[in-house]
Amino acid sequence: MSDFFNGIADLFVNVLFAPFDALKALELESWFAANIMSWIFMFIGIVAFVYWMLQLKKFNDNNEEDKSISSHSFL
């Protein structure tokens, strides 16, 4: 049974965490290259934010939103 758990530990340490070890070694050479995934995700987030704001502006310019003021009857 311990061989089973040692096999799982070996799989994680030597196979699945290998990309992280490579990033750890790369960070000593270039901080920007080691954080490339963070840069990619930030770029995707910025593009999505700009797209969303442009869509909101388009709908606002077309006056498609009902902006009538309504409140509860007890007010």
pTM score: 0.57
**Residues 16-49: tens digit of each pLDDT:** 999 888 888 888 898 888 888 899 999 999 999 9
Determine the Cα–Cα distance for residues 38 and 32; give it in Å rounded to an integer.
9
Query: Where do the structural domains in the chain lie, given as residue ranges?
Result: 2-61
Q: Is the dihedral of CA 58, 63, 66, 69 positive or negative?
A: positive
**Across 47-59, average pLDDT:** 95
pLDDT for res 75: 59
Q: How confident is the model at residue 73 (pLDDT cuts 50, 70, 90)?
A: low
